[in-house]
Structure 1
């Protein structure tokens, strides 16, 4: 955990606290059995926020690309 916390520029206490927060995308509550995931950019050591395991998986399927996510939103919201 210490390494993951450090990669995101967080202290271990901040990392542990982030795991208890609700998902910032779908609002899923963290549980003791399934804590949420502190999410960010390891290269720049930037913490973006907390997401659940389902949302972090979805972000990965979109290759963590804002461009692809915007295209997905456009696809889902266009008039049919």
Structure 2
């Protein structure tokens, strides 16, 4: 799942990658909450949605994800 959720591998189209990020985020994996926040922020594989991005960044930041903390601070 993690390989398909990563943009670095190029194995999944943006929509599929966002779906795998959503699955991993649902399991409480902060890194994928943050990546899904980025996807919503940029409209990468999902419709751009500032509220959804903020929600995902907040959830990841609450788990200590540093990238999400900075993204959440910028987007708030």
Give the structure with the larger strand fraction.
Answer: 1
Alignment TM-score, normalising by the size of structure 1: 0.28
Q: Which has the larger helix fraction?
A: 2
TM-score, normalised on structure 2? Answer: 0.29
